[in-house]
Chains A and B, each alone.
Chain A
Amino acid sequence: DVKVTQSSRYLVKRTGEKVFLECVQDMDHENMFWYRQDPGLGLRLIYFSYDVKMKEKGDIPEGYSVSREKKERFSLILESASTNQTSMYLCASSSAGGGLAKYYEQYFGPGTRLTVT
């Protein structure tokens, strides 16, 4: 059973703090993704990674960075948290092979609700 875990379910941080969100998957997936989910805006891709130490910007990378030092772990970093980064953050992973269905099926973690005050 695929499992994607995120380090915290709820997090409250102050403006200007450096914030680390951790994601771990146990299915040996090559691809990992970070999204934020906001009412009325849906899921928006922040960054994704196709391999260890590889990263690519998504649609809204400003204010975020990522790190992937190990295949199973993908970290999202908010260098200096701001109130407009208050959101639900979702991590996902997917396989790089196995046909179209496997390629596109993303497995999501439970999310981290981050509040920046």
Chain B
Amino acid sequence: QKEVEQDPGPLSVPEGAIVSLNCTYSNSAFQYFMWYRQYSRKGPELLMYTYSSGNKEDGRFTAQVDKSSKYISLFIRDSQPSDSATYLCAMSPLTGGGNKLTFGTGTQLKVEL
């Protein structure tokens, strides 16, 4: 079983839809959670990060962590065609792992006009 599971998609939504992207994990030591966005033929870039449980909002993006369920989510409101990309979750235990990250496999999102 992988430490981090992520539905690969592809996920296709109409412009303006609310998108929910999710990851589950098995390592209860993970405390730092990140979402990266990767456009086609580019390297990933950091979108958002959260520490421990709770929500964090940044414009149209909201990151949510539920440590009791070992489940994290990224919500995109009013999705735009420019949001079409692969979204990767990443996480770290904070201690004992250096600053290495464990990544999910990525969910491919397409926002259609």
Determine if A40 and B8 form an interchain contact, defined as CB atoms under 8 angstroms apart. Answer: yes
Q: Is B103 close to A, CB under 8 A?
A: yes
Nearest CB on B from A74, distance (A): 14
Check: A31 CB closer than 8 A to any chain B CB.
yes
Q: Give how many A residues have a beta carbon under 8 Å from the other chain's beta carbons.
A: 28
Closest B-chain residue to A90, C-beta based? B43
Question: Does residue B32 face the partner (Cβ distance < 8 Å to A)?
Answer: yes
Q: What separation, in Å, do the CA atoms of A40 and B86 have in the docked complex? A: 12
B92 at the interface (CB under 8 A from A): yes
A81 contacts partner chain B, Cβ-Cβ < 8 Å: no
Contact B105 A48 (CB under 8 A): no
Q: Note all chain A residues with C-beta closer than 8 A to B8.
A: 40
Least CB separation from A96: chain B residue: B99
B residues in contact with A45, CB < 8 Å: 100-101
Residues of B near A101 (CB, < 8 A) are 49
Main SS of the interface on chain B? loop
Q: Are A100 and B104 in contact (CB under 8 A)?
A: no
B88 within 8 A of A: yes
- A50: which of B88, B98, B105 is its contact (CB, 8 Å)? B98
Contact of A106 among B94, B101, B106 (CB under 8 A): B101
B45 within 8 A of A: yes
Per-position contact with B for A103-117: 1 when CB-CB < 8 Å, else 0?
111111111000000
Q: B104: nearest residue on chain A (CB-CB)?
A: A42
Q: Whose C-beta in chain A lies nearest to the C-beta of B45?
A: A108
Q: Give the residues from 1 to 57 in chain A that come closer than 8 angstroms, CB to CB, to chain B.
A: 4, 31, 33, 40-45, 48, 50, 56
- Chain A interface (Cβ within 8 Å of chain B)? 4, 31, 33, 40-45, 48, 50, 56, 58, 90, 92, 94, 96, 100-101, 103-111
New A-B pairs, 19, CB < 8 Å, besides A104-B32, A105-B46: A31-B99, A40-B8, A42-B6, A42-B105, A43-B44, A48-B98, A48-B100, A50-B98, A90-B44, A100-B32, A100-B51, A104-B34, A104-B49, A105-B34, A107-B45, A107-B46, A108-B43, A108-B44, A110-B41
